[in-house]
Amino acid sequence: MKIGALIIGDELLSGKRQDRHFNHLQSLLAKRGLELSWTIIVGDEPEQLQRFLTFSLASNDLVFSFGGIGATPDDRTRQSVAKVAEVPLIPHPEAVSEIEQQFGGRAYPNRILMANLPEGSRIIPNPVNRVPGFSFKNHHFMPGFPEMSWPMSEWILENLYPELRNLSPESEQIIYILNGHESELLDMMAKVVADYPELQLSSLPHHGKQPHIELSLRGNKQLIINAMRFVKQAIDSEGFDWSYKLDDNK
């Protein structure tokens, strides 16, 4: 199962607010040996929302979504999910109960609108004000407020995916290629990708007083050992130096 994040809000794109969900979700997943496969930041414009929801709802990915589930006219996530999934937006009995118990008569006429969810949804408890988020398939929609959505994210993992752990690559090995050039090592990288499709290869060039290429392989430990043996041979044949550690004094 791949894991994605939808972070929703015009205020993020305009710069009025800075996103905090991405880093927090990374940390939360890392505690369980998990990591994100993709992240999308999108505004509240309905066509854009529907475009990306069409992409994500077509997958089996586990998706955490933050923002846009309120009752104001610029909150369009609930409506967009219903439209893409081609289901009606209807009052959810449990959501209605939660909001009524929290606000009593003040739930009407406006707060209760947040209980209108896409048909087939399940609610996500909100420990702050009891206005729930909702799950639809493997998508989990929460408010944009971190004080609400962060504990809700933990609840989702602990209660809905308790066995989902340790899907990140088991090992990683990094080799630093000193004074090398990526263009001269492309054939080597292409062969590693072809011969070891189970591994994740990353090449990051660094410029400055100590130019180098940071080449990493992630995945099965024994496959990494085998692939790194070939990598070192290829680096040596090109006449470049390599190290498993950079000298920070250079």
Exposed / middle / buried, residue 73 (Cβ in 10 Å: 0-12, 13-18, 19+): exposed
- Asked if residue 250 belongs to a domain, the reply is no
pLDDT in tens, 145-204: 999 999 999 999 999 999 999 888 889 999 999 988 899 999 999 999 999 999 999 999
- Looking at the fold, whether 183 and 138 belong to one and the same domain comes out as no
Question: Which pLDDT value is given to residue 248?
Answer: 54
- Looking at the fold, whether 91 and 14 belong to one and the same domain comes out as yes
Residue 189 domain boundaries = 171-243
Q: What is the pTM of this model?
A: 0.85
- Looking at the fold, whether 96 and 195 belong to one and the same domain comes out as no
Q: How many domains does the chain have?
A: 2
Point out which residues pair with 3 in neighbouring strands: 62
- Looking at the fold, whether 30 and 134 belong to one and the same domain comes out as yes
pLDDT in tens, 26-70: 999 999 999 999 999 999 999 999 999 999 999 999 999 999 999
Could you tell me whether strands 62-66 and 3-8 are parallel, antiparallel, or unpaired per DSSP bridges? Answer: parallel
- Rounded to an integer, the average pLDDT of 1-12 is 95
- Looking at the fold, whether 219 and 238 belong to one and the same domain comes out as yes
CATH number of the domain that residue 228 is part of: 3.30.70.1130
Contact 4/40 with Cβ under 8 angstroms? yes
